[in-house]
Amino acid sequence: MPVLVSKSLRDYRRSLAGWTVGITAFFALYLSFYPSITKDPELYGRAALAKFPGAMRDLMGGLEDFTSGIGYLHSLVYQLFGPMLFVVCAAILGNRALAQPEESGTLELTVTLPVDRRRLVFERFAALALGLLGLAVVTFLAVWVLSSAVDMNVAFDRILAGHTGILLLSLLFGTLALAVGAATGRRGIAMAVVGVVAVGGYVVESMGRNVDAIAWLRWISPFHYYLDGRPLYQGFPTGDYLVLAGATVVLLVTAILAFDRRDVGV
Amino acid sequence: MTAVVRTEGLTKFYGDRRGLEDLDLEIRPGEVFGYLGPNGAGKTTTIRLILDVIRPTRGRVTVLGTDPRDARVRGRIGYLPGELALEGRERARDYLAFLGGVRGGVSRERIGALAERLEADLSAPMGRLSKGNKQKVGLIQAFMHEPEFLILDEPTSGLDPLVQQEFLAMVREVRASGRTVLMSSHVLAEVENVSDRVGIVRAGRLVTVEDIAALREKAVRLVEFHFDAPVPREAFEGLAGVRDLRVEGASVRCTIDGRPDALVKAAARFTMVHMVCAEPDLEEIFLTYYSEEGEHHAGAGV
């Protein structure tokens, strides 16, 4: 493994371990409620969910179905909480690639190493991708094992499709943080951009289904390419996932070009 | 022999703020070059341009015969940043091993030997190191791969006097092995004993480059002679370079500017019992350069 990648991963390891434990615990907690919910379908069934205001149901991804394994898993893990937790983790790691070390001053020595600036950005990206992959693998296994343990009857490949989407989505946002950091060197700006795009993108995608005025905005929301294909219900939305991956590549190239051109630490 | 560093019209503006303007500088192989100037004069800007951390607004710079944008050349340079940031839980030992690895490998023994020499603590988390200990780690990483060219930005800040002496010894060893050093400071005393030449920068412009030996020759010295009998004042009046003459009985005191030849020959006519010649005060010359240029300290920075 290239030395900058392994070094970055070593730097991320505590943070990654924390996020992995946290997200796994969060998923496990929610999955452990499932048996009690299926025991009482009237209380949580369609009629019960219909009582929530329409806009709120939209924001929660429709809340159509809570009592089937797929519906429960989608609503609680794959609709909002899973992606958002991953996105926050990815943005934090993406910021640690360049903007944070630049602000603290440790990037000064790194850029004077005999390593090309473009390679530096690429290797920091590779570390981000590997870190997120590790997080995704562990949480995927946890969801798969626990969902079988509570008899959710969700197929392995559907969980894999959902988790792949979360990974691609979070990698996109992590790369967005990295790219803004590469261009500006300010982690506050990078965090703000990720926050606006993530929250705005999610609202546009979930509300835009039923609000025509903003429906056209859905196609620029990253969440559209994750949620619209309903991976848990319909399996891999390959085309949409390729859009997420392509956008990540575009952001990476932008990051590399931007960082290669500018003054560091001024 | 090609220059280790050559800059032509090197200029850096940060927006409208002048960092450095029209720097023409040559650093020769095997010399220790002292780069002097007050804080914010443009020393760090020059160094960061040489290392391609920042890019020039105008002008050219070559390092070890190549463009600094070529990453490989940076492996032949050792760099101590002026504001060294070391943080986190990582131990200095691991960080140094990482830096050594990227620069092509440095043995553990070499790092250990340098750490022992500077009495550096490599086992504590770097975030908890004192300023002085961080500076030692910075020096170790700059010296450890035995680079052809060392760039040290304010190297002695935070070091106690004993470690400073050890550091200066290390710089002399580097020079003795034919390698080159660029060392910045805002205090002349820190560099005058090891430097061959000094460049003085002020408000973003290079004021002068001088041999230390030539600077010494220009320096004002205080001289005192004590004779076995009173001497006439006329014997010492009007001598080249002699000022502030005071003759009191058998003793003569004056300052001498430049060569002491005429004064010594005049004194040799009498019987001398004792003589004092103070070390030249380079600081004074240095301050002269500062104040001459000091009138227009327009917004230069970093």
Domain ranges of chain B: 5-213, 220-279
Q: How far is A243 from chain B (nearest CA, A)?
A: 34
Q: What is the mean pLDDT of residues A79-106?
A: 95
pLDDT (mean) for B50-72: 95
The four Cα atoms A95, A96, A99, A105 give a dihedral, to 10 degrees, of: 160
Q: In chain B, what residues touch A10 (CB-CB under 8 Å)?
A: 90
Interface contact A1, partner B, CB < 8 A: no
pLDDT digits (tens, 9 = 90+) for B147-162: 999 999 999 888 888 9
For residue B68, the chain A residue with the least C-alpha distance is A112
pLDDT of the residue at B281: 62
pLDDT at A164 over 60: yes
Q: How many contacts (CB atoms, under 8 Å) link A and B? A: 69
> In this predicted structure, which of A28-37, A124-133, A166-175, B52-61 has the lowest mean pLDDT?
A28-37
Whether B64 has a pLDDT exceeding 60, the answer reads: yes
- Cβ within 8 Å, pair A263-B102: no
Q: Identify the residue whose tokens are 């559907």.
A: A158
CA distance B80 to chain A (A): 8
pLDDT at B174: 95
Please give the pLDDT value at position B252: 94
Bridge partner list, A118? none
CATH architecture of B220-279: 2-Layer Sandwich (3.30)
pLDDT at B299 over 80: no
Q: Summarize pLDDT for A24-79 with one digit per residue, the tens.
A: 999 999 899 888 888 877 777 777 777 778 777 777 776 777 778 888 899 889 99
Q: Which residues of B fall within a CB distance of 8 Å from A260? A: none
Half-sphere exposure (Cβ direction) of B19: Cα atoms closer than 13 Å: 21
pLDDT of res. B145: 93
Q: In Å, what is the CA distance from A177 to each residue of A170, A186, A265? A: 11, 10, 18
Mean pLDDT of the residues in chain B:
88
Residue A95 has pLDDT above 80, yes or no: yes
Q: Do B99 and A113 touch (CB under 8 A)?
A: yes
Task: Spell out which residues of chain A touch residue B98, defining contact as CB-CB under 8 Å.
Answer: 3, 7
- What CATH code would you report for B5-213? 3.40.50.300
What is the 3 state secondary structure string of chain B? Answer: CCCCEEEEEEEEEECCEEEEEEEEEEECCCCEEEEECCCCCCHHHHHHHHCCCCCCCEEEEEECCECCCCHHHHHHEEEECCCCCCCCCCEHHHHHHHHHHHCCCCCHHHHHHHHHHHCCCCCCEHHHCCHHHHHHHHHHHHHCCCCCEEEEECCCCCCCHHHHHHHHHHHHHHHHCCCEEEEEECCHHHHHCCCCEEEEEECCEEEEEEEHHHHHHHCEEEEEEEECCCCCHHHHCCCCCEEEEEEECCEEEEEEECCCHHHHHHHCCCCEEEEEECCCCHHHHHHHHHHHHHHHCCCECC
Secondary structure letter of residue A113 according to DSSP: S
Contact at CB, B89 and A14, closer than 8 angstroms: yes
A151: confidence class by pLDDT, cuts 50, 70, 90: confident
Task: Name the residue facing A264 among B53, B73, B74 (closest C-beta).
Answer: B53
Q: Does residue B302 surpass a pLDDT of 50?
A: no
**Residue A38 in 3-state DSSP?**
helix
Mean pLDDT for B267-295 is 74
Q: Which residue has the higher pLDDT, A134 or B210?
A: A134
Q: What's the complex ipTM?
A: 0.86
Question: B99, A11: Cβ pair inside 8 Å?
Answer: no
Per-domain residue ranges of chain A: 3-261
A266 contacts B54? CB cut-off 8 A: yes
Query: Each residue of B183-198: pLDDT tens digit?
Result: 998 877 778 889 999 9
How far is residue B6's CA from residue A80's CA, in Å, rounded to a whole number?
A: 58
Looking at the predicted structure, is the pLDDT value of residue B287 above 80? no
How far is residue B257's CA from residue B249's CA, in Å, rounded to a whole number? 24
Q: Does A116 touch chain B (CB under 8 A)?
A: yes
At B298 the pLDDT is 40
**pLDDT > 70: percent of chain A:** 99
Q: Cβ of A106 and B85 within 8 Å? A: yes
Verify whether the Cβ–Cβ distance A105 to B88 is below 8 Å: no
Report pLDDT for A55. Answer: 78
